[in-house]
Structure 1
Amino acid sequence: MSAAEAGSADTAVRIAAAVRAGERSAVDVLEAHLARIDGGEAEVHAFNTVTVDAARAAAAAIDERVAAGEDPGPLAGVPIAIKDNLCTRGVATTCSSKILEGWVPPYDATVVERVWASGAVPVGKTNLDEFAMGSSTENSAFGPTRNPRDLTKVPGGSSGGSAAAVAGGFSAISLGSDTGGSIRQPAAFCGVVGVKPTYGLVSRYGLVAFASSLDQVGPFATTVADAALLLEAIAGHDPADATSIPQEAPKLVEHLDDGVAGLRVGVVTELTGEGISPDVLARVREAADALAAAGATVEEVSVPAVAYGLSAYYLIAPAEASSNLARFDGVRYGLRVDAPTTNEMMVASRTAGFGDEVKRRIMLGTYALSAGYYDAFYGQAQKVRTLICRDFDAAYERFDVLLSPTTPTTAFDLGAIADPLTMYLNDICTIPTNLAGHPAMSVPFGTGQDGLPVGVQVLAPALGEQAMFRTAAALEAAAPRTTGASK
């Protein structure tokens, strides 16, 4: 049995139920996952830090609470991996960048607090493209992550480590962040479930910011039910986040079996045409047919402005990154390279601390915001963003959810894409949702001609997670069975 197959047998729902009932110990569950990490992490490199001692202490505390007759929470004893751009008190948070190497936050991100409160057991911090900027996890200052399904392939990015941790059976669930597809794209490449929630549904407090109007924290899991359970645990209003939605989060787990009968599903024509590989398109068509067979009404729908999503995103996101990353200056925290003057010190620290892709986006964003160019670039991109929102709103007047590929292709070879523009095209199907602030998720649905996983994307209007998860559950039930074996 491969690591991936072993991991899929240990779903979060099953683990939590068994631990809460006293049928399994959290310590035994943890040790099984640590053994998988020991056996595969050297090849995969899913983690920047594995917190063995802290995890063992947490698992033992869970077992003590169960023995005392207490309920440790809905994720009791479930091993979870956390993307290394989420602050963790007492544990280094590096964003996979030399400029933050060794930096230890004095507080936990809100989602990390909620993970602890739910009874989950954090096992480590996962590798990512530096500051979440990339689509392959090859931009990490600490080396690339490999895809557990095929070690010659990338796991996607920027949350490649979190996707690989789940796909490899190193953790039952994990947390990532999604700014332009950074949860959904690696989920598709690694054959797991990945969810980008509605903007504001999950707190961003303690998430190291890339693009503040786009970033959102979300779950990875091997099943739709596990993803729903984790999202319920981390979602909800947070007064510490000014963009947090001040209302109760949608109930998900109890509606997973509601089915899709009567649901209206639109297949986005702009995301199922040129540039999408034939084998990926075939899986999307099969997914649409499966939903129709399950009782949904399935038709094609045009969302014209999504064709401009990539162009708008690569002005808005770098502009916000330029502002957010200004704080890493060698003065307050992180790397400091000494120089004769303060200005020279800042330049030297940022030159040594940031990698090429981060520098590229900072420069692009700074240019787009500069005097004389703001209206022509950043201002124009925001107008396109408004058009995308309007076109999605029009589509959701007719449909409950939308369907598209998650990625144009299956996972590509490590080192295969050196051109930044070609790399950016990997997010063409996922970016529009971030610009609109809507939820979307990737569900594994068979494989491509190369035998690697294909992800089908389910999109929904703001706070439409309930219909989205119902659709995802139906797709999961109808998906072609694959071995998921690692190579």
Structure 2
Amino acid sequence: MTKNYTIKDISEGLAKKEFSAEEILSHYSNKIGLENKKLNAYLSTLDFQNSKFKIQNSSLAGVPAAIKDNMLIDGTVATAGSKILENYTSAYDATVIDKLKKAGVQFLGKTNMDEFAMGSSVENSAFGPTKNPHDLERVPGGSSGGSAAAVAADLCVFALGSDTGGSIRQPASFCGVVGLKPTYGRVSRHGLIAMSSSLDQIGPITKNVYDTALVLNTICGQDKFDSTTVSREVPDFTKNLDKSIKGLRVGVPKEYFTAPTGRQDEGLSSEVRISVQNYISELEKLGCEISEISLPHSEYALAVYYIIMPSEVSSNLARFDGIRYGHSSQKSKTLLEVYENSRSEGFGAEPKRRIMLGTFALSSGYYDAYYLKAQKVRSLIKKDFDNAFGKVDIIVGPTAPTTAFKIGEKSGDPLSMYLSDIYTVPVNLAGLPAISIPCGKGSESGLLVGFQIIANSFDEETLLRVAYQLENKLKS
């Protein structure tokens, strides 16, 4: 078995009895054993059989998958990339895990990630960085870099990641795979270790767009355990993938291709610009109507994100106190010392930084100046997208401003690292669906480039249709 299997390949192979589910699981388990040491994509591997399989004729039956280590699988360790949860064992299945189990998915293991999903490179993991399979000196992106690297290296057939400000799409871009962030409320967050509750969303990382649609079919739907999920019929996302996109209105935000005066060094690299513009031209050849649009408040998105997200982090991470679960300091003599020492010993530098930022933004006398104002600007960013979708059907642009950077290149400069998410963060603030697909290699570096497609709320069908047809045209 040497083929880089897709979900469709596995499904057809099992149906034709070319191999058994046990054989394909063993193939990937052996491959992980041989190759994971150099990549550090997996933090742990699993060897139990799926006993919940219920859905007959499921397209995911027998398919081996990887799961980001901030999603709970009953009876297994879930670290969220942090020492504070190094020995925490999940007491139940996340809703997405329960759905995948019932569909017959086999779980290979839990993938590496930035600590509590805070980062864009997996350099913030307490268990060491993951390396990009295409260049071992470079990062895979983050925070779902372990999942993206596992898919890109064919150490699984598909993976799940979580996306708070680009954490599925940016690593998909760096690793040359497909990554989808669904609409906020489309997929349950129950059993996802929370980072920023108004922004977090679970989504698939796959080898092609068709596989993305198959996984999305399974993980979507309202959940009684997550009140933010929406009561909406889940369509078959594979049904209209071939439907013509001729006449579809495509918006290209001018702000994504021009940096504000005096900040040109923060903008788009020339090789990413060229690759993205080539793909926009391909959409035109497919019959789409291309027009320039404006998202005037885009330049404030990163500032808004780094007020709202740390504020929610400071609240969500308060539960890790050394008492209820997770690491508990043995050096403490009083209750206050248990709190202080457990958190000081358990959290890494990035969670500490964001907890302090968020606590400050929410503190008395600063709430109105920071958090409240950020929420008001968030509304303006959402309104920009609403106005744009009154004129166009989808919005396209780069996923990340650069190709994958070298390990250690930005780790000493948090602001530079934060800029990696400049094109993905606005989508989370607005709660919209977006996908990153590979769009060739940079003309200078030869590294992979990602193309981002954004749709209106709950219009993943159009999003996937455009991505699928663009992918197929360029394959042919």
Q: TM class, shorter-chain normalised?
A: over 0.9
Counterpart contact for 2:7–2:59, Cα < 8 Å:
no
Alignment size in residue pairs: 466
2:64 aligned with 1:79: yes
Partner of 1:485: none
Counterpart contact for 1:443–1:475, Cα < 8 Å:
no
TM-score, normalised to structure 1's length?
0.93
Partner of 1:316: 308
- State the secondary structure of the residue aligned to 1:255: coil
1:478 is matched with which residue: 466, 473, 476? 473
* C-alpha distance in 1 between matches for 2:200 and 2:394: 22
Partner of 1:438: 432
Partner of 1:186: 171
2:268 aligned with 1:283: no
Residue 19 of structure 1, CA deviation: 1.8
Residue 120 of structure 1, CA deviation: 1.1
- State the secondary structure of the residue aligned to 1:227: helix
Counterpart contact for 1:73–1:117, Cα < 8 Å:
no
Structure 2 residue identity aligned to 1:426: S
2:93 aligned with 1:108: yes
Residue 273 of structure 1, CA deviation: 2.2
* C-alpha distance in 1 between matches for 2:316 and 2:278: 42
Structure 1 residue identity aligned to 2:424: T
* C-alpha distance in 2 between matches for 1:74 and 1:474: 21
Residue 249 of structure 1, CA deviation: 2.0
* C-alpha distance in 2 between matches for 1:36 and 1:170: 7
* C-alpha distance in 2 between matches for 1:403 and 1:306: 14
| Equivalent residue runs for 1:176-215 within 5 Å | 176-215=161-200
Residue 35 of structure 1, CA deviation: 2.6
* C-alpha distance in 1 between matches for 2:254 and 2:12: 42
* C-alpha distance in 1 between matches for 2:474 and 2:164: 27
Counterpart contact for 2:142–2:171, Cα < 8 Å:
yes
Structure 1 residue identity aligned to 2:438: P
Partner of 1:484: none
2:428 aligned with 1:428: no
Structure 1 residue identity aligned to 2:350: E
* C-alpha distance in 2 between matches for 1:479 and 1:215: 32
> Could you list the runs of 5+ residues in structure 2 that have no partner in the other structure?
260-266
Mean Cα displacement is larger for which, 146-155 or 265-274? 265-274
Counterpart contact for 1:127–1:137, Cα < 8 Å:
yes
Give 1 or 2: higher helix fraction: 1
* C-alpha distance in 1 between matches for 2:473 and 2:416: 33
* C-alpha distance in 1 between matches for 2:136 and 2:244: 36
2:392 aligned with 1:407: no
Partner of 2:290: 298
2:364 aligned with 1:371: yes
Residue 283 of structure 1, CA deviation: 1.1
| Equivalent residue runs for 1:140-219 within 5 Å | 140-219=125-204
1:10 is matched with which residue: 5, 29, 32? 5
After superposition, the C-alpha distances for 1:317-367 in whole angstroms (9 at most, x for unaligned) are 000000000000000000001311111110000000000000000000000
* C-alpha distance in 1 between matches for 2:360 and 2:163: 24
Residue 32 of structure 1, CA deviation: 2.0
Runs of 4+ in 1 over 4 A off after TM superposition: none
- State the secondary structure of the residue aligned to 1:397: coil
Residue 80 of structure 1, CA deviation: 0.4
- State the secondary structure of the residue aligned to 2:271: helix
Structure 1 residue identity aligned to 2:409: A
Partner of 2:38: 43
Sequence identity of aligned pairs in percent?
50
